[in-house]
Structure 1
Amino acid sequence: MEPRIYNLAEKGQNAFKAMYGLEMYLAKSSLEQSLRELVSFRVSQINGCAFCLDMHAKDMRVAGETEQRIYTLDAWREAPFYTERERAAFAWAESVTRVTAGHVPDEVYEIARSQFSEEELIDLTIAVIAINSYNRLNIAFRTTAGTYEPGQFAHAK
């Protein structure tokens, strides 16, 4: 599949500046970077964004995430490698991402609230919103997977 726009981040740099504002906010939030990366990877799996999967897998490896946890994230409910906090974040992220399947269930909210403060849950929701937006941009414009270099967008954060 050919990209619809080559160098999307460069050509859409003014639009991406707004997106990077969310990233700068999240970088200062109390949410762990490792958790934000895992959530971004999980949401990208749901949305089928090859570019974002490639990017987050590479960044997670550089940050020390294990191959085992990356490879089994799609089956996080059955895999014993994730903390209760991570599991709550995944359930929340999935519900927010799949909002057309219905509202975020009360039980998902209750589990999330047992692991996150109200402020953290707002920040987690902003992180989910951000990655969903990046997924949609990259999918719409067919950004080529495999071209990302770890830390490539670090300047934006």
Structure 2
Amino acid sequence: MENRLKNKNTNNRDVWTAVGHLQKAIAAGGVDPKLLALVHLRVSQINSCSACVYAGVAGAKKAGETDETDETDERLHNVAAWREAPFYTDAERAALELAEAATRLQDGGGPARQPPRCHRRSPRPLRHCAAPGQAS
């Protein structure tokens, strides 16, 4: 897999200070830490950042994704194939899809270039995709 980050200047303190501030702001936003950890892990995989993947798994476990149950372990191992895996909620799938799309903007969209989940024919459309009374 080719590394997507061409210039990883890991010695720049300003970059790490900015990243720290961004992480604090995101954490203060009220989103479930387990969901943020799954998104971080998936984006790290896309960016081919080994240290970030390691940190993503550690962060997910710290947020409650532990190896204590088989399903939790499967969730961490299958986040790269979340579309096919049965372990994720609709909200998690929406967040992972949005994260992939944002991470792959320079590529012209996600890997499958599929329309958003809410525009596909599905027996369980996502609530946020259509206003009440409108078809999604």
TM-score of the superposed pair, with normalisation by structure 2: 0.66
Q: Is the 8 A contact 1:92 1:109 kept in 2?
A: no
Q: Is the 8 A contact 1:37 1:56 kept in 2?
A: yes
> Which 5+ residue runs of structure 1 have no aligned equivalent?
1-7, 116-157
- Structure 1 residue 108 corresponds to structure 2 residue 93: no
1:66-81 matches, cutoff 5 A: 66-81=72-87
Q: Percent identity?
A: 36
> Larger Cα Rg: Structure 1 or Structure 2?
2
Cα distance in 2 between the residues matched to 1:73 and 1:91: 11
Q: CA deviation at 1:62?
A: 2.9
Counterpart CA distance in 2 for 1:99 and 1:85 is 21
Could you say which residue in structure 2 is the equivalent of 1:59? 59
Deviation by residue 1:82-139 (Cα, 9 ceiling, x = unmatched): 0000001111111111112325889428578827xxxxxxxxxxxxxxxxxxxxxxxx
Aligned pairs for 1:26-45 (under 5 A) are 26-45=26-45
SS of 2:116's partner is: helix
CA contact (8 A) 1:72 1:79 kept: yes
- Output the amino acid matched with 1:79: A
Q: Distance in 1 between matches of 2:109 and 2:85?
A: 26
Q: TM-score, normalised by structure 1?
A: 0.58
The 2-side partners of 1:93 and 1:60 are apart by 16
The structure that is helix-richer by fraction is 1
| Equivalent pair of 2:37/2:63 in contact (CA under 8 Å) | no
CA distance in structure 2 between the aligned counterparts of 1:32 and 1:85, rounded to whole angstroms: 11
Which residue in the other structure is 1:16 paired with? Answer: 16
In the aligned structure 1, how far is the partner of 2:86 from the partner of 2:109? Answer: 28
